[in-house]
Amino acid sequence: MLITLYGPDSYRRLRKLKEIVDLYSSKEGNFARERFDLKDKDGFDRLRDFLSSQSIFSSKKLAILDEPFEFKDTKQLKELLSGQVESKDTIVLINTTKKHTAPYKFIEKKTNKFEKFDDLKGPELIKFIKNEQERLGLSLTQEEILMIVNSIGSDSWRIVTEMDQMALKKTKKLEGEQYDSQPDYFPSLNGLKRGRTPGERLTALEQLISARRDDPARIFNGLAYQLSSAKEAQMYANYDVAVKAGKLEYEEVLLAIALGLDFDPLV
């Protein structure tokens, strides 16, 4: 059998891969398992030997292939994989970002399994964040969830990394003491972006730069995501050009934003 996990969302794709391997391990017990990268010089030969060899302990095998469709000899790989389609003892688990090309169309046959992992958007992305917060024991407000979506977009790895950090910071006690005093990223970012007074925005900037020690470029990119007006978008675009031209540093830009200075950074 062939199982193909395909798509740009590598976090969910690799998590599904782990689920399949764990399930197969608990079901089959003793079996041969190996992972192959066909970009390695001897990767294909090792794969072919693994699939053709016999074990005295078990006939069950699981071969994990990372990005196999980058292998240049399409004919050889097609012949090898097509020979496993009807196998009941061998599972070939394909992990790939790019969709297979026409010669490998056979992997979509009903006897195989094919699952696509596109980048999440809209309600599906919000649902993903809510599911992850339950897994991590977080309790995010709707505003915090929307800040995650607006600042990070569909990058599930970054979303989960940020939420992991938030979960660590919300851990209550260690040996009887509160050990986390860092402010949360998204409320602070929102305070810098939407604070009503310069004082509120400067406090938020200090939390991000001094308390959390976030990278100024990352803060700027978070602020510049999904802006509310054409004027605001133009301002951030001008700042971005000025930084890349060496006229300003990100720290100077963030301070200007916090103070609400209204000037053309390109002048």
pLDDT band at 174 (very low <50, low <70, confident <90, very high): very low
pLDDT of res. 60 = 86
Contacts of 261 (CB under 8 A, 6+ apart): none
Quickly state the pLDDT bin for 57 (edges 50, 70, 90): low
The CATH number fitting domain 2-116, selected from 3.40.50.300, 3.40.50.12280, 3.30.379.10, 3.30.200.20: 3.40.50.300
The domain ranges of the chain are 2-116, 122-259
pLDDT at 95 over 80: yes
Average pLDDT (234-256) is 84
**98, pLDDT greater than 70:** yes
Mean pLDDT of the 221-244 span: 82
Q: How far apart are CA 18 and CA 185, in angstroms?
A: 30
Structure pTM?
A: 0.64
pLDDT, residue 47, reads 93
Q: Let me know: does 23 contact 3? Beta carbons within 8 Å.
A: no
